[in-house]
Structure 1
């Protein structure tokens, strides 16, 4: 048998010293790294590095970014990590024109805000001013200046604001091909009536009388009715209970 190799204590001392030195070095590096990271965190939170660097807003068509930021209560001096996405979303939804909102945080200190606006169903005319009526039934502030609205029908008269919500919901269901033909709307009903009446003046020269209830469904047949009548016969298309047509007299045509 080979003789066992004998290692003396004197031979092992340098190795023990080297191992202890390595452990001490690792401990120092760990402490220094922790201290350095701690300093970075303190510097980050105490400096402008922690501020929001970029705010991206998408989906807004009629509401300005400035208005959305004001409602959200955020700006470029807000601390990024302290921002609550849920709180920002709740604040933005206080704007009556916003249907939904999603807030995301992205690198580096970027806030991404995606909004969806309610569609405008019509404009309500009151005392010479025009108020956007949303598909949710809510009225926004009046348009600035004296400009006339374009693209949406105008509710020129109504008896109660209770009529506006069901009207807005039905208008939002209409296909664009029919919706674009509506020029003016009048709501002659009073609050006591079970079904609110509606009178619509179309851009192609017809007048439609119906009830707001199930208006969108009734209006599905409008294009085919107009096609059957031909371009020279104008009058009132009544869709209240049963659908029938009453042609204008010569005096009515001249008056209109």
Structure 2
């Protein structure tokens, strides 16, 4: 009788067991990652803790912060730096903005303001900055240093004021470091004539059209005068450059805005002529030696 064949029991396939283990591990991995993300976004690490504003001078940090529309406690990853840049750049005084995020929780907003050329004081005593196009921007930052000349005696709609601001914007601000105030001083011959007061006790007369060229030589001119013991007076930078003492200035013509010249020091006409000749010789020597000074000419008639 033939032997009966016993059924063969197949062993479970190891491949199926391996696939189940991998699925379980993947599920556990995704679960823990999800859990960590939930915990992270609920923690303080995912929130803005510091907003740092740099580069501003005339626009207050509070105004920039309001324009940026971000505050500590907002979600760090939900803030768009491009949106911050667009909103802050909409401020009138701001030329460009660079916003960046630094993990964890720090936002840096770097602001570049439009260059100011001068200041003015409003009727209410408010300090206002003037831009190259004569646009007026109230200075809201307390204690800002008035490191540019103050324009006084100008109407806000005066076209010559706009022309002056544009001329000043074409010259490095360092050339105006000694100028404290600029006033209109028109005459029949020079409708755009201006009067500038220096911190070194000189009064400077020139025109708006000649200002970008003449202002470059002013410091050297004053230095030449001081070398000849001349510490005050009127410097005329017109068709020709000259210096006269305060008491030698003839009375202003009717209609010319004198603007309140500084008190004249004691001097006599003979010493003034001697001083002027000495200054001319000294300035000529300085020009020959390569200095930037522009030699003055003989005194011209007052316009």
TM-score by length of 2: 0.64
Which of 147, 150, 156 is the equivalent residue of 2:152?
156
**8 Å contact from structure 1 (residues 123, 149) kept in 2:** no
Cα distance in 1 for partners of 2:113, 2:31 equals 48
Which of 212, 215, 219 is the equivalent residue of 1:219?
215
Which of 217, 235, 238 is the equivalent residue of 2:236?
238
Determine if the alignment matches structure 1 residue 77 to structure 2 residue 81: no
Gap runs ≥5 in structure 2: 1-7, 250-260, 265-303
Report the counterpart of residue 13 of structure 1 in structure 2.
Answer: 11
Cα distance change on mapping 1:43 and 1:214 into 2, 3 Å: farther
**8 Å contact from structure 1 (residues 129, 142) kept in 2:** no
Cα distance in 2 for partners of 1:144, 1:57 equals 14
Report the counterpart of residue 209 of structure 1 in structure 2.
Answer: 205
**8 Å contact from structure 1 (residues 209, 238) kept in 2:** yes
Report the counterpart of residue 248 of structure 1 in structure 2.
Answer: 245
Cα distance in 2 for partners of 1:39, 1:134 equals 56
Cα distance change on mapping 1:214 and 1:85 into 2, 3 Å: farther
Gap runs ≥5 in structure 1: 1-8
Determine if the alignment matches structure 1 residue 94 to structure 2 residue 90: yes
Cα distance change on mapping 1:254 and 1:170 into 2, 3 Å: closer
Aligned length: 238
Cα distance in 2 for partners of 1:65, 1:134 equals 20
- What is the CA distance between 1:246 and its match in structure 2? 4.9
Report the counterpart of residue 5 of structure 1 in structure 2.
Answer: none
Report the counterpart of residue 184 of structure 1 in structure 2.
Answer: 181
Cα distance in 1 for partners of 2:61, 2:139 equals 19
Cα distance change on mapping 1:49 and 1:213 into 2, 3 Å: same
Secondary structure of the 1:152 match is coil
Secondary structure of the 1:157 match is coil
Cα distance in 2 for partners of 1:195, 1:13 equals 110
- What is the CA distance between 1:88 and its match in structure 2? 0.7
| Deviations 1:92-149, CA, capped at 9 Å, x for gaps | 123333332101122223212122234543221232514232444432225689x896
Cα distance change on mapping 1:112 and 1:214 into 2, 3 Å: farther
Cα distance in 2 for partners of 1:90, 1:187 equals 39
Which of 165, 172, 186 is the equivalent residue of 1:174?
172
Cα distance in 2 for partners of 1:168, 1:97 equals 16
Report the counterpart of residue 116 of structure 1 in structure 2.
Answer: 112
Report the counterpart of residue 141 of structure 1 in structure 2.
Answer: 138
Which of 121, 126, 139 is the equivalent residue of 1:125?
121
